[in-house]
Chains A and B, each alone.
Chain A
Amino acid sequence: MLYKIALAQINPTLGDVEKNLLKHIEFIEKAVQKKAHLIVFPELSLTGYKLGDLTMEVALTFDSDFFKPLLNLSKHIDIAFGFIEKGKDKNSYNSAMYMSEGNVKQVYKKLYPPTHGMFDELRFVARGKEIKIFETKLGKISMLICRDIFHPSLAFLSYAGNADIVLALSNMPLRGLRGDKPGIQTTVEKAVDTYTNFFGMFVVYVNRVGFDDGLGFFGGSFVGTPSGKKLASGDLFEEALTFADIDMEEIFKKRQTFPLLREEDLNIIKKNLDRILEDSYG
């Protein structure tokens, strides 16, 4: 099957959810016109990143009426975006929502909110506990949020769960300006290259642009394919709506010629992991 995926590399306004909602609608409508099957926004696309004490003020439950315009649009196109979730357990989360056919299909809570150096997420949000691999019109999808994708364990779990596509919603601030590309961009491209090759999956990386309090988000969104291609690359620093046509057959072909998943024995992994946990953590 062939699918068209839209990458919405936007610059949200910090803390202004109404304005950002309008931007989502604008980008979604354009993607619908191009007959895309799925549009993916960056992490926290509805709120901006460096929220601090604004976090609790912009938090929304996943079933809030605020999302109605997006739910309506999801009758025409699947939508993945980021927001601060007001959890049913009364915690706030850095979450990603997937909508399809007028319904909320899945909500994923970021597993590894970074808290060191310039990152301060766990001061304001709680950690998610569960990776979600779910069926969609396009195939099996797993959503990861920014730092999550630097944990190969999560890409591996997506692969173990037989995900076809990993959506990586990101807010990566630029650091490293020595080479041809920002240093952090090289890091993320290497990671995606590894996952797509060894796990035989598509990775849709969508990073925002713009500045929050001096942190500059570089963009550079793209789709990595199992055969090692890079599609729909967004420029650096500029808003963009790019499109990738992906062929799901590519996964089958890759996994036939490089049958790692067929060789994989999850029981061995589980046993060894249990033993390591026992030895290391008692």
Chain B
Amino acid sequence: MADISLNYEMLKKFLIYFIKEEVKTNKFNKTILGLSGGVDSAVVAYLSTEALGKENVVAILMPYKLSSPDSKEDALLIADKLGIRHEIFEITGIADEYFKQIDHMDRIRIGNFLSRIRMSILFDKAREYDAIVMGTSNKSEIMLGYTTWYGDMAAGLYPIGDLYKTQVFELAKFMKISEKVLNKAPSADLWPGQKDEDELGALYPELDSVLYLYIDERKSMEEIMLLGHSKELVENIIRRVNSTQFKRTIPPVAKFSARTFGIDFLYPHDMKR
């Protein structure tokens, strides 16, 4: 297993500076995020609160009828502990109204639809509060493409986008986030009993080890296997990473003019505006 440990004290400091500055550069004072009760959004809520103060962080809880009751409870626990403003917005009505008009919905379509409903609400609420939407996606799910394009991936900033899931857990431990949140199996919570690690075919420490060796250390499939990871898993992970690159890039634009966004209109994101 690759060593992906970090200096969590320094990392926390770095991420707090990142949030302070990038929120301001984007001309906001406030952040808003979807709080699920899981570790990713918990960490982002903690970091945002420490960076900007509790009065500048808004949490939105968006349970569906199949969401685990624990999730809502844990999210409320986090919001209360931080003393941040929160709203609960049930999405069952909106979602079911659509689902009942569709003949055959599979789990993937349901999951993606719920994710995009949550995105719509979050961005609408962002307008109401004049806040920037904080991404809560981590590097493991972004690189595996285990995320909904324009759903949970949609955000103004990605504060934990370069942290693998196991690093998010370690940071959460360092920040003393509730044991209850830390001890849950990671889940997108789109249907009862869903677990990331069942769907991805391995536990996060192993997934992250392979991802780290492949992405950060640029090792080949053969080199990763020699370090003790199974061929099946390594192949599966590399296939997932390669087949989901479209989620991490701007779609191709049919270029014919002198300057085209996404290709050669190369202004920075953070320019004065």
Question: Interface on A for B, CB 8 Å cutoff?
Answer: 11, 13-16, 19, 50-54, 123, 174, 177-180, 182, 210-214, 216, 236-237
Contacts and interface: CB of A to CB of B under 8 A. Distances in A.
A236 B10 CA distance: 10
23 contacts: A14-B268, A14-B270, A14-B271, A14-B272, A15-B268, A16-B272, A51-B268, A52-B266, A52-B268, A53-B265, A53-B267, A54-B268, A54-B271, A178-B5, A178-B6, A210-B21, A211-B18, A211-B22, A213-B268, A214-B158, A216-B14, A216-B17, A236-B10
B21 A54 contact: no
B101 interface: no
B10 A177 contact: yes
Contact of B270 (A174, A178, A213): A213
Interface in B244-273: 265-272
A212 B270 contact: yes
Given A177-B6, A177-B14, A211 B268 contact: no
Contacts of A123: 266
Nearest to A49: B268
Interface of B: 5-7, 10-11, 13-14, 17-18, 21-22, 25, 158, 265-272
B267 A180 contact: no
Majority-rule SS of A interface residues = loop
A212 B267 CA distance: 12
Contacts of B5: 178
Question: For B6, B25, B158, B268, which residue has the most chain A Cβ atoms within 10 angstroms?
Answer: B268
Contacts of B6: 177-178
Contacts of B265: 53
Majority-rule SS of B interface residues = loop
A211 B269 contact: no
B14 A237 contact: yes
Given A53-B265, A177-B10, A15 B18 contact: no
Contacts, number: 60
Question: For A13, A16, A211, A213, which residue has the most chain B Cβ atoms within 10 angstroms?
Answer: A211
Nearest to B22: A211
Given A53-B265, A174-B14, A179-B7, A15 B21 contact: no
Contacts of A53: 265-267
A180 B6 CA distance: 10
B17 A213 contact: no
A230 to B, nearest CB: 19
Nearest to A238: B17
A177 B21 contact: no
B7 A211 contact: no
B194 to A, nearest CB: 31
Question: For A13, A177, A182, which residue has the most chain B Cβ atoms within 10 angstroms?
Answer: A177
B272 A13 contact: yes
A174 B266 CA distance: 23
A177 B269 CA distance: 25
Given A14-B272, A216-B18, A237-B17, A177 B267 contact: no
A15 B14 contact: no
A96 B198 CA distance: 56
Nearest to B21: A211
A216 B14 CA distance: 8
Contact of A177 (B7, B266, B268): B7
A210 B21 CA distance: 7
B164 to A, nearest CB: 13
A15 B272 contact: yes
Contacts of A177: 6-7, 10-11, 14
A174 B14 CA distance: 9
Contacts of B18: 211, 214, 216
A53 B266 CA distance: 5
A174 B13 CA distance: 13
Contacts of A51: 268
A53 B271 CA distance: 11
Nearest to B6: A177
B217 to A, nearest CB: 13
B1 to A, nearest CB: 15
A243 B268 CA distance: 33
Which 8 pairs of residues, A with B, have the shortest CB-CB distance? A52-B266, A16-B272, A53-B266, A237-B17, A15-B271, A213-B269, A50-B268, A211-B21
Given A16-B272, A174-B14, A214-B22, 12 more contacts: A14-B25, A14-B270, A50-B268, A54-B267, A177-B7, A177-B10, A177-B11, A178-B5, A179-B7, A216-B18, A236-B13, A237-B13
